[in-house]
Structure 1
Amino acid sequence: MATPNYGYEKRQKELAKKKKKEEKLRAKAERKSGTGPADGQAPEPGEGDGSLSGDDAAPAPSVSA
């Protein structure tokens, strides 16, 4: 049985991570310039838009004065 090539797997993960980061930066630049997404799809809610919704929102701290 062949041994796993961990170096190859790591490199593939790094490449996927880099590609995803570049896509995010490109989308961010497009939003900033006001052109919107190039593929005509609206960005999904809660994906980098700064809004908190559902489980992402932290409960407000209770203040007893």
Structure 2
Amino acid sequence: MSEPSTQPTETPNLEEPKFGFNDYAERLNGRAAMVGFLLILVIEYLTGQGLLSWLGLQ
């Protein structure tokens, strides 16, 4: 004998998507900036040149 399927009795309260400046976007931008800064330091250390020299701008 199979059990009858049960349907949810309550609709979940889902938040509307957020756009613009919000906590999640600011956190994500801050983490991306930290990763970018770390990569610049690694490039300068490994090449022995500054970022502008490495890009050919100086």
User: Could you tell me the TM-score, scaled by structure 1's length?
Assistant: 0.44
Higher relative contact order (CA 8 A, sep 6+): 2
Larger-Rg structure? 2
Q: TM-score, normalised by structure 2?
A: 0.49
Q: Specify which structure has the higher proportion of helix.
A: 2
